[in-house]
Every structure is written in structure tokens, then in C-alpha cells.
Amino acid sequence: MRPTGAFPLTRMRRMRRDDFSRRLMRESTLSVDDLIYPVFVLDGMSRSEPVASMPGVERVSIDRLLSVAEQALELGVPAVALFPVIDVKLKSALAEEAWNPEGLVPRTVRALKERFPELGVITDVALDPYTSHGQDGLIDPNDPRGYVMNDETLEALARQARCHAQAGADVVAPSDMMDGRVGRIRAELDAAGHIHTRILAYSAKYASSFYGPFRDAVGSAANLGKGNKYTYQMDPANSDEAIREVALDIAEGADMFMVKPGMPYLDIVRRVKTELQVPTYVYQVSGEYAMLKAAAANGWLDGEACMLESLLAFKRAGADGILTYFALDAARSLKRRT
């Protein structure tokens, strides 16, 4: 740290005195360009289902998602991230529905790109919405431990990513945390001619307790039961390991790199951005969103102010983009303030 003059020659409050001078020295700014809106899509027509643990968030059918996407575009939000709610009858041990070209995600991607070609569409590449056991990968039925098999899962993920790219997805986002999945997906996409399809790797995804409402929203919580994901998602105690994970994904051909969750892992966001200098993204997960919404509903916090402050914190830590369920609300707030 550079030495500074001592009081009274140096008065730090001088630059804080007026709005114009605070703006002139502001180090981090939040804009609508930083926001990605995660959405939950389900089959059917004219369907909307509120997510009880995420006030203000709904699961919607494709026709209603188009209206949501139109709002996002009008507000200037660059992209949406799709998370499917798969009918329990379509779930299986081998997750075959994950690469069905007429499945829910490919149909949603095609509808969005046909109607709003300029809107970025990001798809989740993971098997947990499709597996009968709720894990992100395949399990040997003869293994009493239920250990998720790594290399066998890679083949399923590659097929899923290719299916999404063929439907028109701009970005595929492997969130499974299998070793080597980015390289396998990149090879699959390139071999199929999808050289422009970007990979947003969930490189530092922690085995966090903040995911509960999300699992309720996509319907994987019931399948997972008392199981957990500790054998493939990262230990919340580790920091150096996250840097190794991101470095491996760089080498395997990812284009963008995710830290998840967000607020409890700001130190990881900072390390990734400063040490590796790559496009760095963060996911303000369902539990973070639910806590802020609950506190605001009880009058314990100013909901809008805390929403914007939390998002600004991600920018200050070094994030280039933020997946947040607040994206539309934040965009509206930012628009009012400009």
C-alpha cells in the first residue's frame, strides 16, 4: 500500500462530501450489462408456478418465458440462463432425456432464438434435473456407496452439450464439477462444427448449503433425498483448490469461469480475477436471494438498497458478470437511477 499524507493535510472525507466527487472517484460500478437472469422453465402451455422458497420467482412454460425474455431485452439484460423442471416420468438412472433433441431445453432454446435472436441464451449442462437419484452424474447400480462415476458421466455431458448447441444455445455451462468435462465438451462441440459455442465453466462450485431453494425449484431435492454432492463439488474450506480448478478449465478450453455461490465466496472471485485474469462470473444463488427477500419482507432491510449493494460487491470483488434472480428488478432500479 502506498503511503499517504497524515491528517489534517489529508482528509479522506473531502472527496465524500458531495455527490459529484463521490461519483468521480467511484472504483466499481454496476450496470445492466453485468446481469444474467436465471429462469426456470417447465413443459405445457400457459403455466406458471411460484417457487415458495424464492418469493417473486416462478417456474414458467415456454410461451410465458417468451414474455419474460422480452422484458429482459427491453431492460437491456444481455442473457438468460435456462434451468429445466423435468417431469418425473422422464427421469432415469442414465439421464437419457438430457440429450433428447425434442426435450424441454432444446425446444426452449429454439423458441427463444427464433423470437429474440439477439438475446444470449445460456444452458445448464448437468444431469441432476434428469437423473432419478438427483446426482449430477451417473452411478454404478452395483456400488453401495452411490459414487458418481466421472469418465462415464463425461460422455453423457458431451452429448447434452452438443444437443443444446445444435438447438442454438450461445453458451453451454457445465455445472457438474466432473474432472475433464470442459475438455470433453469442447472436443465434442468442435467436432460437430460448433466452434463458436462458448463454454461458461462452473469452475469453482462449492458443496454449499445455500442451494436449497434452487433444488426445490427444479425438483431435484426430492430425488437427492439425504444424499449429498461432497465427492465432486468443492469443500467450502478451500481456496487454493479453486485456483487449480479454474486453471485446469482454462487449459481445457473454457471461455468464461464461474464461482458459485457468490457472497460467501467473494475472496474466491477476487483471487480468480487477479491471479488468473480471465472472464470471471459469479452466481448469487437461491439461498442468498431468499435471505434478502425474507429480510426485506419482514421490514428488517431495505430490499432495493441491499439488492444493489450485494450486486455491487460482486463487481468490487472482480466479477465481470453476475447470475442473479434479481436481474430484472436490478435493471429496473438502475434504469430509474440514470
Q: What are all long-range contacts of 235-244, with beta carbons under 8 Å and residues at least 24 apart?
A: 235/206, 235/207, 236/206, 236/207, 236/208, 236/264, 239/267, 239/268, 239/271, 242/203, 242/204, 242/268, 242/271, 242/272, 243/271, 243/272, 243/275, 243/276
DSSP codes, 104-135: HHHHHHHHHHHH-TTSEEEEEE-STTTBTT--
Q: What is the largest CA-CA distance in the chain?
A: 74
Q: Is the dihedral of CA 326, 328, 331, 337 positive or negative?
A: negative
Catalytic residue among 205, 229, 273, 293: 205
282 DSSP β-pair partners: 259, 322
Q: Is 205 helix (H, G, I), strand (E, B) or coil?
A: strand
User: Is position 260 annotated as part of the catalytic site?
Assistant: yes
Catalytic residue among 91, 229, 260, 273: 260
Report the distance separating Cα 233 and Cα 176, nearest Å: 8
- Give the other-Cβ count within 10 Å of 115's Cβ: 13
Q: From the CA atom positions of the chain, what is the Rg in Å? A: 21
Give catalytic residues, as residue numbers: 205, 260
